[in-house]
Structure 1
Amino acid sequence: MLWQLAGHLYPPGAARALEREWFRPPRGTGPDHAGRELLAQARMDWALVTGQGASRRVRVYRWGSSGPAVLLAHGWGGHAAQWQPLVAPLLAAGMRVVAFDALSHGASDAGARGADQTSVVEMSRALLATAWHAGPIHAVVSHSLGSAALALAIREGLHLQAAVMIAPPADMHRAAAALAWRLGIGPAILARMQRSSERWLGMPWSALNVPALGRIRPVPPTLVVHDRQDHEVCWENGAAIVGAWPGAKLMTTEGLGHRRVLRDAGVIASTVDFLGSMAALPRHARTSGVAALHA
Protein backbone atom coordinates (compact mmCIF):
# COMPACT_ATOMS: atom_id res chain seq x y z
CA MET A 1 0.00 0.00 0.00
CA LEU A 2 2.84 2.41 0.84
CA TRP A 3 4.52 1.69 -2.50
CA GLN A 4 1.28 2.33 -4.36
CA LEU A 5 0.74 5.60 -2.48
CA ALA A 6 4.32 6.74 -3.13
CA GLY A 7 3.95 5.91 -6.81
CA HIS A 8 0.88 8.11 -7.08
CA LEU A 9 2.13 11.03 -4.96
CA TYR A 10 5.80 11.22 -6.00
CA PRO A 11 6.79 8.96 -8.90
CA PRO A 12 10.48 10.03 -9.04
CA GLY A 13 10.98 9.20 -5.37
CA ALA A 14 9.20 5.87 -5.73
CA ALA A 15 11.43 4.97 -8.70
CA ARG A 16 14.58 5.86 -6.73
CA ALA A 17 13.40 3.78 -3.76
CA LEU A 18 12.69 0.82 -6.05
CA GLU A 19 16.14 1.19 -7.61
CA ARG A 20 17.80 1.10 -4.18
CA GLU A 21 15.77 -1.96 -3.21
CA TRP A 22 16.49 -3.84 -6.45
CA PHE A 23 20.25 -3.31 -6.34
CA ARG A 24 20.71 -4.04 -2.60
CA PRO A 25 22.10 -7.55 -2.04
CA PRO A 26 20.60 -9.42 0.90
CA ARG A 27 22.72 -9.81 4.02
CA GLY A 28 22.48 -13.50 4.77
CA THR A 29 24.46 -15.58 7.20
CA GLY A 30 28.18 -15.92 6.64
CA PRO A 31 30.06 -19.17 6.04
CA ASP A 32 29.35 -22.09 8.35
CA HIS A 33 32.15 -24.06 10.02
CA ALA A 34 32.77 -26.25 6.97
CA GLY A 35 32.81 -23.19 4.73
CA ARG A 36 35.30 -21.37 6.96
CA GLU A 37 37.55 -24.42 6.93
CA LEU A 38 37.37 -24.56 3.13
CA LEU A 39 38.41 -20.90 2.80
CA ALA A 40 41.23 -21.39 5.34
CA GLN A 41 42.67 -24.13 3.09
CA ALA A 42 42.65 -21.89 0.00
CA ARG A 43 45.43 -19.81 -1.46
CA MET A 44 44.02 -16.29 -1.26
CA ASP A 45 44.87 -13.23 -3.30
CA TRP A 46 43.15 -10.37 -5.10
CA ALA A 47 41.90 -9.58 -8.58
CA LEU A 48 41.22 -5.98 -9.58
CA VAL A 49 38.07 -4.58 -11.17
CA THR A 50 38.71 -1.31 -13.00
CA GLY A 51 36.34 1.31 -14.37
CA GLN A 52 33.67 3.44 -12.70
CA GLY A 53 36.18 5.20 -10.47
CA ALA A 54 38.97 3.66 -8.41
CA SER A 55 40.02 0.05 -8.85
CA ARG A 56 38.30 -2.35 -6.46
CA ARG A 57 39.62 -5.62 -5.07
CA VAL A 58 37.92 -8.97 -5.52
CA ARG A 59 38.92 -11.70 -3.08
CA VAL A 60 40.04 -14.82 -4.99
CA TYR A 61 40.37 -18.33 -3.53
CA ARG A 62 42.28 -21.18 -5.20
CA TRP A 63 42.57 -24.91 -4.52
CA GLY A 64 44.76 -27.39 -6.38
CA SER A 65 47.74 -26.73 -8.61
CA SER A 66 47.16 -28.78 -11.76
CA GLY A 67 44.47 -29.73 -14.22
CA PRO A 68 41.86 -27.62 -16.01
CA ALA A 69 40.61 -24.69 -13.92
CA VAL A 70 36.94 -24.50 -12.90
CA LEU A 71 35.70 -21.11 -11.72
CA LEU A 72 32.80 -21.02 -9.24
CA ALA A 73 30.45 -17.98 -9.34
CA HIS A 74 28.04 -17.53 -6.42
CA GLY A 75 24.67 -15.83 -6.59
CA TRP A 76 23.02 -12.68 -5.20
CA GLY A 77 23.87 -12.36 -1.51
CA GLY A 78 26.14 -15.43 -1.67
CA HIS A 79 29.84 -16.01 -1.06
CA ALA A 80 32.61 -18.36 -2.13
CA ALA A 81 32.19 -20.67 0.88
CA GLN A 82 28.79 -21.84 -0.35
CA TRP A 83 30.68 -24.04 -2.84
CA GLN A 84 32.18 -26.17 -0.06
CA PRO A 85 30.37 -29.39 -1.13
CA LEU A 86 31.68 -29.14 -4.71
CA VAL A 87 35.36 -28.24 -4.25
CA ALA A 88 36.69 -31.61 -3.02
CA PRO A 89 34.96 -33.65 -5.76
CA LEU A 90 36.35 -31.32 -8.45
CA LEU A 91 39.85 -31.64 -7.01
CA ALA A 92 39.51 -35.43 -6.81
CA ALA A 93 38.47 -35.45 -10.47
CA GLY A 94 41.75 -33.84 -11.49
CA MET A 95 40.69 -30.20 -11.77
CA ARG A 96 41.89 -27.11 -9.98
CA VAL A 97 39.28 -24.79 -8.49
CA VAL A 98 38.94 -21.02 -8.32
CA ALA A 99 36.23 -19.07 -6.50
CA PHE A 100 35.65 -15.43 -5.62
CA ASP A 101 33.48 -13.08 -3.60
CA ALA A 102 31.68 -10.58 -5.83
CA LEU A 103 31.93 -6.86 -5.07
CA SER A 104 29.81 -5.88 -2.04
CA HIS A 105 29.84 -9.57 -1.06
CA GLY A 106 32.00 -11.56 1.34
CA ALA A 107 35.58 -10.31 1.77
CA SER A 108 35.68 -8.23 -1.43
CA ASP A 109 35.58 -4.45 -1.66
CA ALA A 110 32.36 -2.49 -1.96
CA GLY A 111 31.04 -1.82 -5.42
CA ALA A 112 31.09 1.57 -7.14
CA ARG A 113 27.82 2.61 -5.46
CA GLY A 114 28.78 1.54 -1.94
CA ALA A 115 28.72 -1.55 0.25
CA ASP A 116 24.94 -1.97 0.16
CA GLN A 117 24.56 -1.65 -3.62
CA THR A 118 25.80 -3.66 -6.57
CA SER A 119 24.50 -5.25 -9.76
CA VAL A 120 24.76 -8.24 -12.05
CA VAL A 121 27.03 -6.08 -14.23
CA GLU A 122 29.51 -5.64 -11.35
CA MET A 123 29.23 -9.35 -10.58
CA SER A 124 30.13 -10.07 -14.20
CA ARG A 125 33.12 -7.71 -14.06
CA ALA A 126 34.33 -9.45 -10.90
CA LEU A 127 33.97 -12.81 -12.66
CA LEU A 128 35.95 -11.56 -15.66
CA ALA A 129 38.66 -10.05 -13.43
CA THR A 130 39.00 -13.36 -11.58
CA ALA A 131 39.13 -15.34 -14.82
CA TRP A 132 41.86 -13.07 -16.19
CA HIS A 133 43.79 -13.23 -12.90
CA ALA A 134 43.62 -17.00 -12.37
CA GLY A 135 43.19 -18.26 -15.93
CA PRO A 136 43.08 -19.84 -18.31
CA ILE A 137 39.65 -20.99 -17.17
CA HIS A 138 38.25 -24.23 -18.59
CA ALA A 139 34.71 -23.98 -17.21
CA VAL A 140 32.44 -21.99 -14.91
CA VAL A 141 29.87 -23.32 -12.46
CA SER A 142 27.39 -20.62 -11.45
CA HIS A 143 24.42 -20.30 -9.13
CA SER A 144 21.36 -18.07 -9.47
CA LEU A 145 22.30 -14.49 -10.43
CA GLY A 146 25.89 -15.66 -10.89
CA SER A 147 24.57 -17.37 -14.04
CA ALA A 148 23.33 -14.05 -15.45
CA ALA A 149 26.76 -12.61 -14.61
CA LEU A 150 28.35 -15.53 -16.46
CA ALA A 151 26.19 -14.88 -19.52
CA LEU A 152 27.30 -11.23 -19.55
CA ALA A 153 30.93 -12.36 -19.26
CA ILE A 154 30.48 -14.65 -22.27
CA ARG A 155 28.93 -11.71 -24.10
CA GLU A 156 32.07 -9.72 -23.27
CA GLY A 157 34.34 -12.41 -24.74
CA LEU A 158 35.00 -14.98 -22.00
CA HIS A 159 35.84 -18.24 -23.79
CA LEU A 160 34.98 -21.50 -22.06
CA GLN A 161 34.92 -25.19 -22.90
CA ALA A 162 31.92 -25.82 -20.62
CA ALA A 163 29.48 -24.20 -18.20
CA VAL A 164 27.09 -25.41 -15.53
CA MET A 165 24.28 -23.05 -14.50
CA ILE A 166 22.37 -23.94 -11.33
CA ALA A 167 18.98 -22.25 -10.81
CA PRO A 168 19.69 -19.50 -13.38
CA PRO A 169 17.38 -16.52 -13.98
CA ALA A 170 16.56 -15.92 -17.62
CA ASP A 171 15.47 -12.28 -17.85
CA MET A 172 16.21 -9.46 -15.40
CA HIS A 173 13.41 -7.30 -16.79
CA ARG A 174 10.85 -10.01 -16.12
CA ALA A 175 12.24 -10.57 -12.61
CA ALA A 176 12.07 -6.85 -11.80
CA ALA A 177 8.53 -6.68 -13.17
CA ALA A 178 7.54 -9.54 -10.87
CA LEU A 179 8.96 -7.67 -7.85
CA ALA A 180 7.15 -4.49 -8.87
CA TRP A 181 3.89 -6.41 -9.19
CA ARG A 182 4.29 -7.91 -5.71
CA LEU A 183 4.90 -4.45 -4.26
CA GLY A 184 1.98 -2.91 -6.14
CA ILE A 185 4.21 -0.69 -8.30
CA GLY A 186 2.92 0.27 -11.72
CA PRO A 187 4.72 -0.14 -15.07
CA ALA A 188 5.50 3.59 -15.35
CA ILE A 189 7.50 3.58 -12.10
CA LEU A 190 9.32 0.41 -13.14
CA ALA A 191 10.21 1.94 -16.52
CA ARG A 192 11.50 5.09 -14.81
CA MET A 193 13.68 2.98 -12.51
CA GLN A 194 15.10 0.99 -15.40
CA ARG A 195 15.90 4.11 -17.43
CA SER A 196 17.71 5.60 -14.44
CA SER A 197 19.74 2.43 -13.76
CA GLU A 198 20.72 2.03 -17.40
CA ARG A 199 22.71 5.27 -17.17
CA TRP A 200 25.08 3.91 -14.52
CA LEU A 201 24.94 0.25 -15.57
CA GLY A 202 26.27 1.31 -18.96
CA MET A 203 23.92 -0.99 -20.89
CA PRO A 204 20.22 -1.48 -21.57
CA TRP A 205 18.23 -3.99 -19.58
CA SER A 206 17.66 -5.90 -22.82
CA ALA A 207 21.33 -6.95 -22.60
CA LEU A 208 20.48 -8.84 -19.39
CA ASN A 209 18.40 -11.48 -21.18
CA VAL A 210 20.24 -14.80 -20.87
CA PRO A 211 18.36 -16.84 -23.51
CA ALA A 212 18.93 -14.11 -26.11
CA LEU A 213 22.70 -14.53 -25.78
CA GLY A 214 22.49 -18.00 -27.29
CA ARG A 215 20.96 -16.53 -30.43
CA ILE A 216 23.62 -13.87 -31.01
CA ARG A 217 26.90 -15.38 -29.74
CA PRO A 218 28.60 -18.77 -29.62
CA VAL A 219 28.02 -20.31 -26.20
CA PRO A 220 29.87 -23.21 -24.55
CA PRO A 221 28.35 -26.65 -24.00
CA THR A 222 26.14 -26.00 -20.98
CA LEU A 223 24.39 -28.08 -18.33
CA VAL A 224 21.47 -26.26 -16.68
CA VAL A 225 20.29 -27.65 -13.33
CA HIS A 226 16.94 -26.41 -12.02
CA ASP A 227 14.54 -27.65 -9.38
CA ARG A 228 10.80 -27.86 -9.97
CA GLN A 229 10.17 -26.48 -6.46
CA ASP A 230 12.48 -23.48 -6.78
CA HIS A 231 10.32 -20.65 -5.42
CA GLU A 232 12.94 -17.91 -5.93
CA VAL A 233 13.80 -18.51 -9.59
CA CYS A 234 11.15 -20.72 -11.16
CA TRP A 235 12.06 -23.78 -13.25
CA GLU A 236 10.78 -22.16 -16.46
CA ASN A 237 13.82 -19.83 -16.38
CA GLY A 238 16.26 -22.70 -16.77
CA ALA A 239 14.08 -24.34 -19.42
CA ALA A 240 14.02 -21.09 -21.42
CA ILE A 241 17.82 -20.91 -21.42
CA VAL A 242 18.16 -24.53 -22.56
CA GLY A 243 15.65 -23.89 -25.34
CA ALA A 244 17.70 -20.96 -26.65
CA TRP A 245 21.32 -22.10 -26.12
CA PRO A 246 22.41 -24.60 -28.82
CA GLY A 247 23.41 -27.94 -27.36
CA ALA A 248 22.46 -27.06 -23.77
CA LYS A 249 21.12 -29.83 -21.53
CA LEU A 250 18.54 -29.55 -18.75
CA MET A 251 18.74 -31.53 -15.51
CA THR A 252 15.51 -31.19 -13.54
CA THR A 253 15.50 -32.01 -9.82
CA GLU A 254 12.60 -32.35 -7.39
CA GLY A 255 12.27 -31.00 -3.88
CA LEU A 256 15.67 -29.28 -3.57
CA GLY A 257 14.53 -25.66 -3.93
CA HIS A 258 16.89 -22.81 -4.73
CA ARG A 259 19.80 -23.47 -2.35
CA ARG A 260 19.73 -27.08 -1.21
CA VAL A 261 20.40 -28.00 -4.84
CA LEU A 262 24.01 -26.85 -4.31
CA ARG A 263 24.56 -29.57 -1.68
CA ASP A 264 22.81 -32.45 -3.40
CA ALA A 265 25.03 -35.46 -4.10
CA GLY A 266 23.34 -36.21 -7.42
CA VAL A 267 23.75 -32.63 -8.66
CA ILE A 268 27.40 -32.59 -7.60
CA ALA A 269 28.09 -35.93 -9.29
CA SER A 270 26.42 -34.79 -12.53
CA THR A 271 28.34 -31.50 -12.46
CA VAL A 272 31.70 -33.21 -11.97
CA ASP A 273 30.96 -35.82 -14.64
CA PHE A 274 29.82 -33.20 -17.17
CA LEU A 275 32.88 -31.00 -16.63
CA GLY A 276 35.16 -34.04 -16.75
CA SER A 277 33.70 -35.13 -20.07
CA MET A 278 34.23 -31.66 -21.52
CA ALA A 279 37.85 -31.66 -20.30
CA ALA A 280 38.44 -35.17 -21.74
CA LEU A 281 39.61 -36.39 -18.33
CA PRO A 282 39.93 -40.16 -17.94
CA ARG A 283 36.74 -41.81 -16.75
CA HIS A 284 38.45 -43.24 -13.64
CA ALA A 285 39.41 -39.71 -12.56
CA ARG A 286 35.84 -38.50 -12.94
CA THR A 287 34.41 -41.39 -10.93
CA SER A 288 36.99 -40.84 -8.19
CA GLY A 289 35.61 -37.31 -7.87
CA VAL A 290 32.11 -38.70 -7.44
CA ALA A 291 33.34 -41.29 -4.93
CA ALA A 292 34.87 -38.49 -2.86
CA LEU A 293 31.35 -37.38 -2.02
CA HIS A 294 30.88 -40.52 0.05
CA ALA A 295 34.34 -40.77 1.58
Structure 2
Amino acid sequence: MSSFVIKSIGNVLNATSLISSKYATKKALNLFASPRKGRYTDAQIPTMQSAFFEELDFNSGSIATYRWVGKNKTILLAHGWESNSSRWSYILSALKAEDYNIVALDAPAHGKSSGRQFNAVLYSECLAIVAKKFKPEVIIGHSVGGMATIFSMHNYNLPFVKKIISLGAPAHFTGVFSRYKTMMGFNCRISDGLDRLVLERFNKPVDYFSAANFSETISAKGLIIHDKKDRIIPYEDALLFANRYKNSELISTTGFGHSLKDKSLIPKIIQFIN
Protein backbone atom coordinates (compact mmCIF):
# COMPACT_ATOMS: atom_id res chain seq x y z
CA MET A 1 0.00 0.00 0.00
CA SER A 2 1.49 3.35 -1.06
CA SER A 3 2.15 6.12 1.43
CA PHE A 4 -0.44 8.27 -0.39
CA VAL A 5 -3.16 5.64 0.10
CA ILE A 6 -2.13 5.13 3.73
CA LYS A 7 -2.29 8.84 4.51
CA SER A 8 -5.60 9.11 2.63
CA ILE A 9 -7.13 6.38 4.80
CA GLY A 10 -5.76 8.10 7.88
CA ASN A 11 -7.27 11.42 6.81
CA VAL A 12 -10.68 9.82 6.21
CA LEU A 13 -10.65 8.23 9.66
CA ASN A 14 -9.49 11.49 11.25
CA ALA A 15 -12.42 13.27 9.62
CA THR A 16 -14.79 10.51 10.74
CA SER A 17 -13.54 10.87 14.32
CA LEU A 18 -14.97 14.41 14.40
CA ILE A 19 -18.42 12.82 14.08
CA SER A 20 -17.79 9.60 16.03
CA SER A 21 -14.38 9.01 17.55
CA LYS A 22 -15.52 5.59 18.83
CA TYR A 23 -16.48 4.39 15.35
CA ALA A 24 -13.29 5.76 13.78
CA THR A 25 -11.14 4.17 16.49
CA LYS A 26 -12.73 0.75 16.01
CA LYS A 27 -12.11 1.01 12.27
CA ALA A 28 -8.48 2.00 12.93
CA LEU A 29 -7.93 -0.99 15.23
CA ASN A 30 -9.62 -3.34 12.76
CA LEU A 31 -7.32 -2.05 10.02
CA PHE A 32 -4.28 -2.58 12.26
CA ALA A 33 -5.30 -6.18 13.04
CA SER A 34 -6.27 -7.24 9.50
CA PRO A 35 -3.43 -8.77 7.45
CA ARG A 36 -3.56 -7.87 3.76
CA LYS A 37 -1.13 -10.63 2.83
CA GLY A 38 -0.06 -13.96 4.27
CA ARG A 39 -2.25 -16.50 2.50
CA TYR A 40 -0.34 -18.95 0.31
CA THR A 41 0.46 -18.06 -3.27
CA ASP A 42 0.73 -20.70 -5.97
CA ALA A 43 4.52 -20.36 -5.88
CA GLN A 44 4.67 -21.07 -2.13
CA ILE A 45 2.48 -24.17 -2.03
CA PRO A 46 5.08 -26.70 -3.35
CA THR A 47 7.37 -25.95 -0.40
CA MET A 48 4.67 -27.04 2.02
CA GLN A 49 3.52 -30.15 0.15
CA SER A 50 6.43 -32.18 1.52
CA ALA A 51 5.18 -31.67 5.09
CA PHE A 52 2.64 -33.64 7.08
CA PHE A 53 -0.32 -31.27 7.46
CA GLU A 54 -2.51 -31.19 10.57
CA GLU A 55 -5.09 -28.73 11.87
CA LEU A 56 -5.51 -28.06 15.59
CA ASP A 57 -8.68 -26.63 17.14
CA PHE A 58 -8.54 -23.02 18.31
CA ASN A 59 -11.36 -20.60 19.20
CA SER A 60 -13.96 -22.34 17.01
CA GLY A 61 -11.42 -22.27 14.21
CA SER A 62 -8.19 -24.03 13.34
CA ILE A 63 -4.42 -23.64 13.45
CA ALA A 64 -2.57 -25.03 10.45
CA THR A 65 0.59 -26.99 11.35
CA TYR A 66 3.26 -28.63 9.20
CA ARG A 67 5.73 -31.33 10.20
CA TRP A 68 8.91 -32.67 8.70
CA VAL A 69 9.62 -35.66 10.93
CA GLY A 70 13.13 -36.21 12.31
CA LYS A 71 14.74 -38.05 15.22
CA ASN A 72 16.69 -35.15 16.71
CA LYS A 73 15.40 -32.17 18.72
CA THR A 74 11.95 -30.79 17.96
CA ILE A 75 12.08 -27.27 16.52
CA LEU A 76 8.98 -25.05 16.31
CA LEU A 77 8.99 -22.30 13.67
CA ALA A 78 6.82 -19.17 14.06
CA HIS A 79 6.67 -16.74 11.14
CA GLY A 80 5.90 -13.03 11.26
CA TRP A 81 3.24 -10.54 10.10
CA GLU A 82 1.69 -11.03 6.64
CA SER A 83 3.77 -14.16 6.08
CA ASN A 84 3.27 -17.92 6.46
CA SER A 85 5.27 -21.08 7.09
CA SER A 86 6.79 -21.04 3.60
CA ARG A 87 9.10 -18.23 4.81
CA TRP A 88 11.25 -20.96 6.39
CA SER A 89 12.07 -22.59 3.04
CA TYR A 90 15.51 -20.95 3.06
CA ILE A 91 16.55 -22.89 6.17
CA LEU A 92 14.54 -26.10 5.91
CA SER A 93 17.23 -28.14 4.12
CA ALA A 94 19.82 -27.28 6.76
CA LEU A 95 17.44 -28.20 9.59
CA LYS A 96 16.52 -31.46 7.87
CA ALA A 97 20.22 -32.29 7.45
CA GLU A 98 20.50 -32.20 11.26
CA ASP A 99 17.55 -34.64 11.42
CA TYR A 100 15.55 -32.23 13.56
CA ASN A 101 11.87 -32.91 14.08
CA ILE A 102 10.55 -29.71 12.48
CA VAL A 103 7.14 -28.18 13.21
CA ALA A 104 5.79 -24.94 11.72
CA LEU A 105 2.49 -23.17 12.19
CA ASP A 106 0.52 -20.53 10.35
CA ALA A 107 -0.55 -17.63 12.56
CA PRO A 108 -4.23 -16.69 12.86
CA ALA A 109 -5.51 -15.12 9.60
CA HIS A 110 -2.35 -16.30 7.81
CA GLY A 111 -1.53 -19.27 5.58
CA LYS A 112 -4.15 -21.96 6.02
CA SER A 113 -5.12 -21.01 9.58
CA SER A 114 -8.61 -19.65 10.11
CA GLY A 115 -9.64 -16.15 11.13
CA ARG A 116 -9.49 -12.63 9.77
CA GLN A 117 -7.97 -10.81 12.73
CA PHE A 118 -4.45 -11.03 14.14
CA ASN A 119 -2.50 -9.75 17.12
CA ALA A 120 0.50 -10.93 19.12
CA VAL A 121 -1.61 -12.01 22.11
CA LEU A 122 -3.82 -14.19 19.92
CA TYR A 123 -0.72 -15.60 18.22
CA SER A 124 0.84 -16.43 21.60
CA GLU A 125 -2.27 -18.46 22.50
CA CYS A 126 -1.94 -20.43 19.25
CA LEU A 127 1.76 -21.00 19.90
CA ALA A 128 1.01 -22.38 23.35
CA ILE A 129 -1.48 -24.90 21.92
CA VAL A 130 0.96 -26.07 19.25
CA ALA A 131 3.87 -26.17 21.70
CA LYS A 132 1.95 -28.23 24.26
CA LYS A 133 1.08 -30.77 21.58
CA PHE A 134 4.54 -31.17 20.01
CA LYS A 135 6.74 -30.14 22.98
CA PRO A 136 9.60 -28.44 21.11
CA GLU A 137 12.95 -28.00 22.80
CA VAL A 138 13.57 -24.94 20.59
CA ILE A 139 11.32 -22.21 19.19
CA ILE A 140 12.49 -19.95 16.36
CA GLY A 141 10.35 -16.85 15.86
CA HIS A 142 10.66 -14.14 13.24
CA SER A 143 9.44 -10.59 13.92
CA VAL A 144 6.05 -10.72 15.68
CA GLY A 145 6.53 -14.50 15.81
CA GLY A 146 9.45 -13.80 18.15
CA MET A 147 7.37 -11.41 20.24
CA ALA A 148 4.48 -13.92 20.44
CA THR A 149 6.96 -16.61 21.50
CA ILE A 150 8.07 -14.50 24.46
CA PHE A 151 4.45 -13.73 25.35
CA SER A 152 3.66 -17.45 25.22
CA MET A 153 6.65 -18.42 27.35
CA HIS A 154 5.69 -15.76 29.91
CA ASN A 155 2.00 -16.61 30.12
CA TYR A 156 1.94 -20.40 29.76
CA ASN A 157 3.75 -23.30 31.34
CA LEU A 158 6.18 -24.51 28.64
CA PRO A 159 9.08 -26.02 30.63
CA PHE A 160 10.14 -28.27 27.75
CA VAL A 161 11.30 -25.24 25.72
CA LYS A 162 15.00 -24.91 26.48
CA LYS A 163 16.07 -22.43 23.80
CA ILE A 164 14.51 -19.49 21.94
CA ILE A 165 15.85 -17.88 18.77
CA SER A 166 14.38 -14.44 18.11
CA LEU A 167 14.86 -12.94 14.65
CA GLY A 168 14.16 -9.21 14.26
CA ALA A 169 11.52 -9.23 17.00
CA PRO A 170 9.84 -6.12 18.41
CA ALA A 171 10.66 -5.57 22.07
CA HIS A 172 7.38 -3.93 23.04
CA PHE A 173 3.91 -3.32 21.67
CA THR A 174 4.13 0.38 22.47
CA GLY A 175 6.66 0.88 19.68
CA VAL A 176 4.66 -1.16 17.16
CA PHE A 177 1.48 0.77 17.96
CA SER A 178 3.24 4.12 17.91
CA ARG A 179 4.73 3.45 14.47
CA TYR A 180 1.29 2.48 13.17
CA LYS A 181 -0.28 5.69 14.50
CA THR A 182 2.51 7.80 12.98
CA MET A 183 2.35 6.00 9.63
CA MET A 184 -1.41 6.60 9.39
CA GLY A 185 -1.17 10.18 10.68
CA PHE A 186 -3.93 9.64 13.24
CA ASN A 187 -5.13 12.54 15.35
CA CYS A 188 -5.31 12.50 19.16
CA ARG A 189 -8.91 11.30 19.19
CA ILE A 190 -7.99 8.09 17.40
CA SER A 191 -4.56 7.65 19.01
CA ASP A 192 -5.96 7.94 22.53
CA GLY A 193 -8.99 5.87 21.56
CA LEU A 194 -6.76 3.02 20.36
CA ASP A 195 -5.01 2.92 23.72
CA ARG A 196 -8.40 2.78 25.47
CA LEU A 197 -9.61 -0.04 23.23
CA VAL A 198 -6.54 -2.14 24.07
CA LEU A 199 -7.21 -1.60 27.77
CA GLU A 200 -10.88 -2.57 27.34
CA ARG A 201 -10.13 -5.73 25.36
CA PHE A 202 -7.16 -7.06 27.29
CA ASN A 203 -7.58 -5.43 30.72
CA LYS A 204 -4.00 -4.21 30.42
CA PRO A 205 -2.54 -0.92 29.11
CA VAL A 206 -0.52 -0.88 25.90
CA ASP A 207 2.81 -0.56 27.72
CA TYR A 208 2.14 -3.78 29.66
CA PHE A 209 2.76 -5.84 26.53
CA SER A 210 6.54 -5.68 26.57
CA ALA A 211 8.35 -8.77 25.32
CA ALA A 212 11.61 -7.32 26.63
CA ASN A 213 10.15 -7.06 30.15
CA PHE A 214 8.58 -10.52 29.92
CA SER A 215 11.92 -12.01 28.87
CA GLU A 216 13.25 -11.26 32.37
CA THR A 217 11.08 -14.14 33.65
CA ILE A 218 12.29 -16.69 31.08
CA SER A 219 14.90 -19.30 31.99
CA ALA A 220 15.25 -20.79 28.49
CA LYS A 221 18.47 -19.75 26.79
CA GLY A 222 17.98 -17.06 24.13
CA LEU A 223 19.64 -16.07 20.88
CA ILE A 224 18.68 -12.60 19.62
CA ILE A 225 19.52 -11.81 15.99
CA HIS A 226 18.79 -8.34 14.64
CA ASP A 227 20.05 -6.19 11.79
CA LYS A 228 21.39 -2.74 12.61
CA LYS A 229 19.67 -1.33 9.52
CA ASP A 230 16.32 -3.07 10.05
CA ARG A 231 13.73 -0.66 8.60
CA ILE A 232 10.74 -2.45 10.14
CA ILE A 233 11.75 -3.09 13.76
CA PRO A 234 14.45 -0.73 15.10
CA TYR A 235 17.77 -2.20 16.23
CA GLU A 236 17.18 -0.49 19.58
CA ASP A 237 14.58 -3.20 20.28
CA ALA A 238 17.32 -5.83 20.13
CA LEU A 239 19.36 -3.85 22.64
CA LEU A 240 16.37 -3.79 25.00
CA PHE A 241 16.11 -7.57 24.76
CA ALA A 242 19.85 -7.99 25.30
CA ASN A 243 19.67 -5.81 28.40
CA ARG A 244 16.71 -7.57 30.02
CA TYR A 245 16.88 -11.15 28.75
CA LYS A 246 19.69 -12.21 31.05
CA ASN A 247 20.17 -15.73 29.69
CA SER A 248 20.66 -14.59 26.10
CA GLU A 249 23.24 -13.52 23.56
CA LEU A 250 22.93 -10.97 20.76
CA ILE A 251 24.13 -11.37 17.19
CA SER A 252 24.07 -8.05 15.32
CA THR A 253 24.14 -8.00 11.52
CA THR A 254 24.43 -5.24 8.95
CA GLY A 255 22.68 -5.36 5.59
CA PHE A 256 20.57 -8.49 6.06
CA GLY A 257 17.40 -6.46 6.54
CA HIS A 258 14.33 -7.41 8.54
CA SER A 259 13.99 -10.86 6.96
CA LEU A 260 17.43 -12.04 8.18
CA LYS A 261 17.37 -14.83 5.59
CA ASP A 262 21.07 -14.61 4.82
CA LYS A 263 22.51 -18.13 4.74
CA SER A 264 25.60 -17.08 6.69
CA LEU A 265 23.39 -17.05 9.79
CA ILE A 266 22.25 -20.65 9.41
CA PRO A 267 25.42 -22.28 10.89
CA LYS A 268 25.18 -19.92 13.89
CA ILE A 269 21.55 -20.89 14.45
CA ILE A 270 22.34 -24.61 14.24
CA GLN A 271 25.35 -24.21 16.52
CA PHE A 272 23.14 -22.51 19.10
CA ILE A 273 20.50 -25.27 18.83
CA ASN A 274 23.10 -28.00 19.28
Question: What is the aligned partner in structure 1 of residue 88 from structure 2?
Answer: 83
CA separation of 1:155 and 1:6: change in aligned 2, threshold 3 A: same
Distance apart, 1:188 and its partner CA = 4.6
Q: How many residues align?
A: 262
Letter in 2 for 1:93: E
SS of residue in 2 equivalent to 1:140 = strand
Letter in 1 for 2:53: M
Question: What is the aligned partner in structure 1 of residue 133 from structure 2?
Answer: 133
Q: Deviations over 1:148-207 (max 9, x none)?
A: 110110012223110110010011122212221232224453232232234334644334
Separation in 1, partners of 2:234, 2:178: 14
Question: What is the aligned partner in structure 2 of residue 39 from structure 1?
Answer: 48
TM-score by length of 2: 0.88
Q: Deviations over 1:126-162 (max 9, x none)?
A: 111111222x210100001111110110012223110
Separation in 2, partners of 1:236, 1:47: 36
Question: What is the aligned partner in structure 2 of residue 25 from structure 1?
Answer: 35
Separation in 2, partners of 1:37, 1:230: 29
Letter in 2 for 1:17: K
SS of residue in 2 equivalent to 1:137 = coil
Kindly indicate whether the alpha-carbon contact (under 8 Å) linking 1:31 and 1:82 is maintained by their aligned counterparts in 2.
no
Distance apart, 1:32 and its partner CA = 6.4
Distance apart, 1:8 and its partner CA = 4.1
Which segments of 5 or more consecutive residues in structure 1 lack a partner in the other structure? Answer: 277-295
Question: What is the aligned partner in structure 2 of residue 291 from structure 1?
Answer: none
TM-score by length of 1: 0.82
CA separation of 1:80 and 1:197: change in aligned 2, threshold 3 A: same
CA separation of 1:206 and 1:101: change in aligned 2, threshold 3 A: same
Question: What is the aligned partner in structure 2 of residue 10 from structure 1?
Answer: 20
Write out aligned runs for 1:141-152 (5 A): 141-152=140-151
Write out aligned runs for 1:1-295 (5 A): 1-28=11-38, 30-31=40-41, 33=43, 35-50=44-59, 54=60, 56-110=61-115, 115=116, 117-134=117-134, 136-156=135-155, 157-159=157-159, 160-201=161-202, 203-215=204-216, 217-259=217-259, 261-262=260-261, 264-276=262-274
Q: What percent of counterpart residues are identical?
A: 20
Which segments of 5 or more consecutive residues in structure 2 lack a partner in the other structure? Answer: 1-10
Distance apart, 1:62 and its partner CA = 0.5
Choose 137-146 or 19-28, whichever is displaced more: 19-28
Separation in 2, partners of 1:204, 1:93: 43
Separation in 2, partners of 1:205, 1:57: 27
Kindly indicate whether the alpha-carbon contact (under 8 Å) linking 2:29 and 2:194 is maintained by their aligned counterparts in 1.
yes
Please give the root-mean-square deviation of Cα atoms over the aligned residues, in Å: 2.0
Separation in 1, partners of 2:185, 2:234: 21
Letter in 1 for 2:95: L
Distance apart, 1:250 and its partner CA = 1.2
Distance apart, 1:13 and its partner CA = 2.5
Question: What is the aligned partner in structure 2 of residue 283 from structure 1?
Answer: none
Separation in 1, partners of 2:139, 2:175: 25
